[in-house]
Chains A and B, each alone.
With several copies, the nearest count.
Chain A
Amino acid sequence: MLDKNGIAQRIAQELKDRYYVNLGIGIPTLVANFIPEGINVEFQSENGILGMGPFPWEGEEDADLINAGKQTITALAGASFFDSATSFGMIRSQHIHMTVLGAMEVSQNGDIANWKIPGKMVKGMGGAMDLVASAENIIVAMMHTNKSGESKLLPECSLPLTGLGCVKKVVTELAVMEIKDGAFHLIERAPGVSVDTIKAATAGKLIIDGDIPEMKL
């Protein structure tokens, strides 16, 4: 079973050289810590920066330099700043190669729900709807089940949707699954996790084709 860093590390293996990447808040942000060697990627934050670097050294924080999670950040050499219209322009026009975000629910046809729980305080979708409607390569980083132990990988989402049929891969503490043809295809198990455990935790249609390898981190 993976911890949050493990999930991030596994997702980092999906990075390819010369990718522009948008990382959501939470586990996705951690992906930046595990860029494989020899791979050059650039991180975009939708509030208006390309070439986002690590957090600043203590005392060097700049209120005018934050990421979409409102955290203070730095800019790397070759970075650029731009306005929000340009930022979502590059997102909608599919210049971003990979988007990683969290989710409350994912359905077997790739629908995602991650912005609203009816009856609870609703904080808003931020940039998530634009991202999932636009990106070709959307990876969800989340726990396999919610706090009540219920599967978050469902036949259909029960919560209000963020986007339709857009999620390509899900990485959880238990497994890596690809979404295609209306089903979750199990492609890797987390270290020490059995196929049966994954099966039990997945409410949606799960395809298990042959031996499922354990992931290598």
Chain B
Amino acid sequence: MITKIVANSWEATEGITDGMTVMFGGFGLCGIPENSIAAIRKRAVKQLTCISNNAGVDGFGLGLLLENKQIKKMISSYVGENNEFEKQMISGELEVDLIPQGTLAERCRAAGAGIPAFFTPAGYGTEVAEGKEVRIFNGKPHILELAFDASFAFVKAWKGDEAGNLIFKGTARNFNPMMAMAGKITVAEVEELLPAGSLDPNAIHVPGIFVHRIYKGDHFEKRIEQRTVRQRKTS
């Protein structure tokens, strides 16, 4: 077996340098690689192009890299709820490339699947399609989209084993599996790191071959963005 364990988030982020394109798993604050983000902040690398569905919030998630001025460009589908982001975007400090969420997911998946380009109907007739090839399939116009190319992918899983196999929980799965498959170097932080043979081989979401470094996160805050609940009736 090929083991992928590294000691900690510092070791796991070794090799990230200024100007790189890097992916971050997560949807909103759900399933984000908190520990790797903290280490990247500590490493103070600059001019990053970040591929991530969202850009975190002020003071958490990718917001931590934004406020530290480490991000040159965000490639995302939705970037609300973040004042620092808005400030840097309006001042022109931060470039932003907004793309449809499904296209974002599929461009990650394509990278991990060795598919350099594919056609999708999403965005046809909108500014997203500008400059892109259009072709009709089954009577419907589609646009050509390209696979992403990322030097690093940082993902967060629930359980992992020393072979790099990953299992996610609930909707914390989201973009993590495709990004794990897409990274040239994929770094996974997990809540539980187990010996090989501990996970059901039928239940693995990301086979270890896609994961280059795995470590147990020190601490997971798992902040909730919108706490919505039903009130219990008191009798």
Number of interface residues of B (CB under 8 A): 83
Within 8 A of B (CB), among A38-73: 40-42, 44-51, 54-73
* B218 vs chain A, min Cβ distance (A): 17
**Segment at the interface with B among A74-82, A145-153, A180-188:** A74-82
Residue of A nearest to B111 (CB): A93
Q: Verify if A162 is at the interface (C-beta below 8 Å from B).
A: yes
Contact A78 B181 (CB under 8 A): no
Known: A66-B225, A121-B86. A126 touches B111 (CB 8 A): no
Q: Verify if B21 is at the interface (C-beta below 8 Å from A).
A: no
Q: Give CA–CA (A42, B205) in the complex, Å.
A: 18
Identify A164's interface contact among B86, B124, B174, B176, CB under 8 A. B124
Q: Verify if B117 is at the interface (C-beta below 8 Å from A).
A: no
Which residues of chain A come closer than 8 Å to B170, judged between CB atoms?
A: 49, 62, 64-65, 75, 81
Chain B interface, DSSP helix/strand/loop, else mixed: loop
* B78 vs chain A, min Cβ distance (A): 4
Q: Verify if A5 is at the interface (C-beta below 8 Å from B).
A: no
Q: Give CA–CA (A18, B225) in the complex, Å.
A: 32
A selection of 30 A-B contacts at a CB cut-off of 8 Å is A42-B208, A42-B209, A50-B209, A51-B1, A51-B201, A58-B232, A59-B229, A63-B30, A77-B197, A78-B162, A78-B165, A78-B208, A81-B171, A81-B201, A82-B173, A82-B207, A84-B101, A86-B113, A87-B105, A89-B112, A92-B121, A93-B114, A96-B209, A121-B90, A129-B122, A130-B103, A133-B100, A160-B127, A163-B124, A164-B124
6 pairs of A and B residues whose beta carbons are closest in the complex: A92-B114, A88-B102, A77-B197, A130-B102, A78-B196, A78-B163
> What residues of chain A have their CB less than 8 Å away from a CB belonging to chain B?
18, 20, 40-42, 44-51, 54-73, 75-96, 111, 121-130, 133-134, 160-164
